[in-house]
């Protein structure tokens, strides 16, 4: 019997191996194409356990086989792609089990958009949603340690996960949660697979504690590597910190427990138009001094793209007053016609429960921006504010949808450096980018120093591989020189895993390999991501066009 027949023999869910399904799951939002052998939609935890046991038996006999978990499929790194078994969660593992008391229990296949509707019914929110909030799922947010527009005020996904259930490499489901000292000592004494796993992880972290803490990137957010520095603080041992951001390489998450927050009742936005990058840091520092809950940006190419495809944005917004919204795009259209385009548009949103206090803050912000001669507008209309948010959130999708002769090529799409290093860093970055004949857009979280560069490329051109390789090497070398991270939110996947040793050094990267071997000694969970990535393999699987 073959793989598909074997799986159909014991899976209660769906086992799909037709050409159309395999073609569909050969892509995510990355620049790769890898066709799986089969897509399994598990009906329950027992299905997952049986798949893990089956794959383990095959792997022990020397067969090449593995499992890659997938839900929304919005990953930009190739993290959801495999030549073997895709475990698809969106069909059956899509239940919101509970929302109450500032917390929720949810399955990994739940789409964030559906989850938010339920949490907002109780006035609550998971604030770490990414720009892909309308199409991503909770499982992917956990896998990548997602962050987004609210990160300056509320932090990333790692801050909100307080418990998980996961099927590990022995084929059993375990509860993963923070342990105090007493609980940890009891756990590592257990003569079980779980006890051994905890002991080996604890011993590794304890033995290399100074090296691990020194390796933590000096930035506000990071998704590169395994977050060993967050697991043990001397009082609490928390393996959820290791699983969040691990891209499904340590086990298969089956249930997620998250903390929620109560969003502020009122918000106000100021939009800042920057004609050149010289005045960036004074503006950033001026705005950050007032603690915005969001501080986003996008470049002139993104704005031009938005103006070009205004009808698409209006469809997304679905406003009650269509003509009013179209009218609100006139200032940007006028800039396009007169050549007065800003180099960068920055969106700073402030929030509070006291509307009078919030308005007073906005007056102070406006006063400071006027003092430093910034070109700004305070936005009072919610529809107009949403216009700017849609431009920021939808820029990547507009590129993917409308540019026919080239495609989006996310490979240097998520770097971060400290804000105070931006004036020195950005000119050097621009000098590197200027050497390459590619069109690109820049958007990102300017308040964190986190930028998303999305080139448009013809990947059928033989020169494209060399451009991706050489540009990645130059940009990542610059980021590392400025003690940043090569990925703040989007994670490593196929595209960045080969650069992790360069970022962290041989010793720390070796610890990442040890972590993988502790949890997954046969390498059955999403291989080639986080450790032992192969740049040749990645380039061999670039999409052809």
Nearest CA to 206 out of 180, 249, 237, 177 is that of 237
Domain presence at residue 226? yes
Q: Assess whether pLDDT exceeds 70 at residue 437.
A: yes
Supply the CATH number for residue 337's domain.
3.40.462.10
Nearest CA to 223 out of 127, 131, 148, 132 is that of 148
C-beta of residue 22 within 8 angstroms of C-beta of residue 36: yes
Residue where a domain stops, chosen among 456, 481, 506: 481
pLDDT, tens only, 438-464? 988 888 899 999 999 989 898 888 899
C-beta of residue 453 within 8 angstroms of C-beta of residue 442: yes
Nearest CA to 346 out of 406, 283, 264, 282 is that of 283
- For residue 254, give its domain range: 96-259
- The residue length of the chain stands at 545
% of the chain residues with pLDDT over 70: 92
Are residues 120 and 74 both part of a single domain? no
Domain presence at residue 486? no
Are residues 134 and 253 both part of a single domain? yes
- Quick one: average pLDDT of 199-204? 98
Domain presence at residue 154? yes
Are residues 423 and 531 both part of a single domain? no
Are residues 335 and 388 both part of a single domain? yes
pLDDT, tens only, 361-419? 999 999 999 999 998 989 887 777 877 887 777 766 666 666 667 788 999 999 999 99
The total domain count for the chain is 4
Are residues 319 and 437 both part of a single domain? yes
Residue where a domain stops, chosen among 205, 225, 259: 259
C-beta of residue 83 within 8 angstroms of C-beta of residue 526: no
Are residues 44 and 111 both part of a single domain? no
Average pLDDT, the chain: 92
Nearest CA to 539 out of 33, 24, 117, 74 is that of 33
Residue where a domain stops, chosen among 434, 456, 481: 481
Nearest CA to 515 out of 239, 226, 244 is that of 226
Are residues 296 and 242 both part of a single domain? no
Are residues 419 and 470 both part of a single domain? yes
Are residues 252 and 276 both part of a single domain? no
Domain presence at residue 487? no
Are residues 367 and 447 both part of a single domain? yes
Domain presence at residue 488? no
Are residues 189 and 330 both part of a single domain? no
The pTM (predicted TM-score) of the whole model is 0.93
Supply the CATH number for residue 10's domain.
3.30.43.10
Are residues 270 and 255 both part of a single domain? no
């Amino acid at each position: 019997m073959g793989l598909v027949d074997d799986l159909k023999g014991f899976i209660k869910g769906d086992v799909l191996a037709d050409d159309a399904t395999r073609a569909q799951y050969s892509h995510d939002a990355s620049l790769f194409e890898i066709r799986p052998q089969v897509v399994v939609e598990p009906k329950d935890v027992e299905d997952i356990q049986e798949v893990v046991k089956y794959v383990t038996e095959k792997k022990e006999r020397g067969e090449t086989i593995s499992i890659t978990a997938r839900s929304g499929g919005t990953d930009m790194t190739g993290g959801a792609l495999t030549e073997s078994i895709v475990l698809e969660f969106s069909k059956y593992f899509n239940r919101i089990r509970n929302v109450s008391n500032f917390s929720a229990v949810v399955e990994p296949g739940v789409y964030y958009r559906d989850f938010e509707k339920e949490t907002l019914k109780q006035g609550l929110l998971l604030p770490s949603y990414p720009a892909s909030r309308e199409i991503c799922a909770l499982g992917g947010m956990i896998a990548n340690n997602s962050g987004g527009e609210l990160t300056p005020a509320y932090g990333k996904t790692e801050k909100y996960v307080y418990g998980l259930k996961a099927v590990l490499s022995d084929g059993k489901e375990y509860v993963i949660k923070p342990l105090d000292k007493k609980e940890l000592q009891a756990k590592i004494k257990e003569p079980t697979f779980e006890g051994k796993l905890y002991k080996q992880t604890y011993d590794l972290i304890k033995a290399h504690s100074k090296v691990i803490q020194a390796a933590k990137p000096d930035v506000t957010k990071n998704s590169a590597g395994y977050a060993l520095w967050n697991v043990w603080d001397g009082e609490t041992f928390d393996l959820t910190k290791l699983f969040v951001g691990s891209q499904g390489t340590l086990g298969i998450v089956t249930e997620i427990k998250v903390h929620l927050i109560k969003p502020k009742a009122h918000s106000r936005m100021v939009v800042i138009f920057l004609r050149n990058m010289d005045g960036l840091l004074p503006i950033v520092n001026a705005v950050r001094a007032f603690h915005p809950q969001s501080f986003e940006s996008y470049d002139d190419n993104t704005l031009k793209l938005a103006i070009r495809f205004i009808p698409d944005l209006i469809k997304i917004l679905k406003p009650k007053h269509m003509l009013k919204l179209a009218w609100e795009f006139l200032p940007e259209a006028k800039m396009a016609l007169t050549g007065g385009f800003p180099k960068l548009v920055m969106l700073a949103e402030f929030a509070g429960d006291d509307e009078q206090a919030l308005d007073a803050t906005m007056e102070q912000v406006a006063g400071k921006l006027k003092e430093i001669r910034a070109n700004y507008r305070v936005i009072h209309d919610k529809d107009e504010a949403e216009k700017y948010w849609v431009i920021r959130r939808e820029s990547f999708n507009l590129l993917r949808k409308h540019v026919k002769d080239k495609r989006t090529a996310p490979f240097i799409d998520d770097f971060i450096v400290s804000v105070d290093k931006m004036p020195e860093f950005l000119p050097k970055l621009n000098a590197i980018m200027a050497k390459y004949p590619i069109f690109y857009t820049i958007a990102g979280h300017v308040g964190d120093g986190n930028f998303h560069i999305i080139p448009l490329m013809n990947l059928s051109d033989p020169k494209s591989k060399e451009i991706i390789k050489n540009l990645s090497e130059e940009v990542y070398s610059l980021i590392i020189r400025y003690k940043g991270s090569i990925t703040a939110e989007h994670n490593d996947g196929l595209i960045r895993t080969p650069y992790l040793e360069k970022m962290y050094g041989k010793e720390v990267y070796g610890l990442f390999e040890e972590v993988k071997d502790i949890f997954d000694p046969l390498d059955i969970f999403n291989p080639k991501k986080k450790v032992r990535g192969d740049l040749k393999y990645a380039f061999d699987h670039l999409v052809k066009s």
